[in-house]
Amino acid sequence: MAKISELLPRSAIVLDLQSKEKFDVISELVRPLVAAGAITGESEFVSAIVRRENMESTGIGVGVAIPHARTKAVSSIVLAFGRSDSGVDFNSLDGKPSHLIFLIAAPEEQKTEYIMTLARLSKLLRKDEVRIGLNKAGSPDDVLRVITQHES
């Protein structure tokens, strides 16, 4: 199974998110994945993400959100990462805004890999040192270095 760092293209790391609202942030993170060819049906994928966001909170607390969807509009599992200094409201149970946002896109048929990617990413982001490293990262390479260092 691929590592988190292997699923996150440099071009999909946005260290200064311009959007302030949840769905705008999602669109901002989807764009580079569409450009990279990983998401083949942008509107279908965004619809799936929006539907999930309207049903549940993908904010896992401690300033982290992981919006995700599994649809036919995705060719292979891929991640995007965005960082927001001001924070974005992802309806986290702890009531705090999310500053670190990882978007996961997966093909419909890869349920096991999708679940495992969500689980490994969630575990990784509960580590204080990972969140501190991602908040301090000055470049996409720094982001990938932090993730690589802490992936088991």
Name which of 11 and 149 has its Cβ closer to another protein. Answer: 149
Interface with another protein (CB under 8 A), residue from 6, 31, 52, 151:
52
Cα–Cα distance, 100 to 66 (Å, whole number): 9
Which pair of tokens denotes residue 49?
């993400």
**Interface segment toward another protein; rule CB under 8 A; list 78-86, 95-103, 121-129, 135-143:** 121-129
> Do residues 68 and 81 touch, judged by C-beta distance below 8 A?
no
Interface with another protein (CB under 8 A), residue from 19, 57, 75, 110:
57
Beta bridge partners of 88: 98
- We find the least distance from the C-beta atom of residue 143 to another protein, in angstroms, to be 21
Which pair of tokens denotes residue 56?
């549940």
- We find the least distance from the C-beta atom of residue 140 to another protein, in angstroms, to be 25
Map the footprint of another protein across residues 82-111, applying CB under 8 A.
93, 111
Cα–Cα distance, 107 to 96 (Å, whole number): 30
Beta carbons within 8 Å of 109's beta carbon, 6+ residues apart = none
Q: Is 120 in the site for another protein (CB under 8 A)?
A: yes
**Interface segment toward another protein; rule CB under 8 A; list 30-38, 53-61, 95-103, 133-141:** 53-61
Q: Is 116 in the site for another protein (CB under 8 A)?
A: yes
What's the longest Cα–Cα distance across the chain? 36
Q: Is 128 in the site for another protein (CB under 8 A)?
A: no
Nearest Cα neighbor of 60 from 131, 7, 6 is 131
> Do residues 61 and 92 touch, judged by C-beta distance below 8 A?
yes
Q: Which chain residues interact with another protein by CB under 8 A?
A: 52, 55-57, 60, 70, 93, 111, 114-116, 118-120, 122-123, 126, 152
